[in-house]
Structure 1
Amino acid sequence: MNDKILCFKIDGNNLYLEISLIYFNEIPIFFLCRDDNGAMYAVQCIDTEDLNYYVVRVSEKNTLELLNDTLTIREFIISSYEKWEIQSRENIEDDIVKQIQTINEEDLV
C-alpha cells in the first residue's frame, strides 16, 4: 500500500511529503519532503495565493539541527546546495520548475 503524498517532481525525482512543520490558514507553508532515493528537501511556500515554492535539497545533519532548534529556518534554507523555484499548477506534471542559484532572503520566514 502506497500512502505517500506526492508533492513535486524535480528532474525526474518524485518528492513525497515527509512532515509539515508550519501552517498558514491550513496550508502547509514549510515542510520537508523525501525523494525515492531518500534525499531530503525543505519546501517553503513563498506565495499562498499562487502556490509558489522554494524547494532546497538539505542534508540530514542540517535537518536534525533544524528539528532540534539549533539552526533557524532561514539558515537551513540558505545553507542548501541545490535550489529550485516551483510554480504550482493544477497537475504536478504541469508545475513550472526552475533551478536557481540564489534565494531572495526577503521571501524567507
Structure 2
Amino acid sequence: MHTDEEGMAAAASDYDRISGELQGRLKAIEAEADSLVPTLVGKTGTAAQASATRYSEAAHAEILELTSISERIHSSGLRYGDTDADGSHLVNNAFPAR
C-alpha cells in the first residue's frame, strides 16, 4: 500500500492558500464598503451595505468550507500514513528477513 502524504499535504495547502486569498479580498471589500458609508446615503447606501453584507456572508461561508476541506485532507493524510506504517510493521513481523 502506498499513500502520497506529501501530495495530500500540498492539496491541503492549496485550500489554505485559496482561503487566505479570499480572506484578503474580503478585508479589502469590507474596507471599501466602510469608506463608502459617509458618502452613500438613502437607498443607494442601503443597497451598497446590503451587497457588502451578502458578499461578506458568502465569503465567510466559503472560507469555513475551505478550512474544513483542508482539515479533512490533513487528517486523512495522517490516517493514511499511520495505516501504511502499521501495515508495513505487520508485514515485516509476519515475514521477518532471514
Under TM normalisation by the shorter chain, which class is it? under 0.3
TM-score relative to the length of structure 1 = 0.22
When you count helix as a share of all residues, which structure comes out higher? 2
Larger RCO: 1 or 2 (CA < 8 Å, sep 6+): 2
TM-score relative to the length of structure 2 = 0.23
The structure with the larger Rg is 2
When you count strand as a share of all residues, which structure comes out higher? 1
